[in-house]
């Protein structure tokens, strides 16, 4: 009996440690297609930015937003790709995204072009500029409703897709 209790305690400690570091997440919308699809099951590293200063270009992050849920039960948690970091100058025109005057090569986008226009937006300190990969439907930093995302609002970095099993692996 003593061994059984010891095994249960060890299992609980492992589960607790994992839940402090990893957040399971289900993609709810299509704004990250073709990289992520609705109902993809992901693991998010909640400590990704504890050991380093800031997110990197291309990181896929989840964050708390001010966007209200359709049912009025609170605010949405969004998932987007980091396109710009603090002090970057972001511009969008002619279907292209420019960071510090250099056009980005974005082969991960669904359409191959970006809608909307933005000129010489400087990303504030400790904030990131994020966009979905499915630019025509993504509510992201191009919108005043989302804007630049404070690093304090970042929950973590998506790093692993568990489902669908045919696409299991690192992101």
| Catalytically active residues, by annotation | 31, 80
Q: Which structure tokens are listed for 84?
A: 């710009």
Question: What values do phi and psi take at 86, rounded to 5?
Answer: -50, 140
**What distances in angstroms separate CA 33 from CA 61, 97, 109, one per listed residue?**
15, 18, 7
- The Cα–Cα gap between 71 and 75 comes to 10
- The Cα–Cα gap between 38 and 134 comes to 12
- The Cα–Cα gap between 119 and 90 comes to 7
For CA atoms 145, 151, 155, 159, give the dihedral sign: positive
- The Cα–Cα gap between 169 and 124 comes to 33
């Amino acid at each position: 009996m003593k061994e059984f209790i010891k095994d249960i305690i060890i299992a609980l400690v492992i589960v607790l440690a994992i839940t402090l570091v990893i957040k399971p997440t289900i993609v709810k919308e299509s704004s990250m297609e073709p990289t992520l699809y609705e109902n993809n099951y992901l693991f998010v590293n909640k400590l990704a930015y504890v050991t380093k200063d800031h997110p990197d270009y291309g990181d896929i992050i989840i964050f708390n937003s001010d966007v209200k849920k359709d049912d009025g039960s609170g605010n949405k948690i969004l998932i987007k790709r980091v396109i710009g970091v603090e002090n970057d100058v972001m511009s969008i025109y002619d279907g292209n995204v420019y960071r510090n005057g250099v056009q980005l090569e974005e082969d991960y986008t669904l359409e191959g072009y970006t809608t909307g226009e933005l000129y010489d937006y400087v990303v504030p300190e400790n904030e990131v500029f994020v966009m979905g990969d499915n630019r025509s439907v993504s509510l992201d930093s191009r919108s005043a409703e989302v804007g630049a995302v404070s690093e304090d609002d970042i929950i973590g970095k998506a790093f692993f897709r568990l489902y669908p099993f045919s696409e299991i692996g690192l992101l």
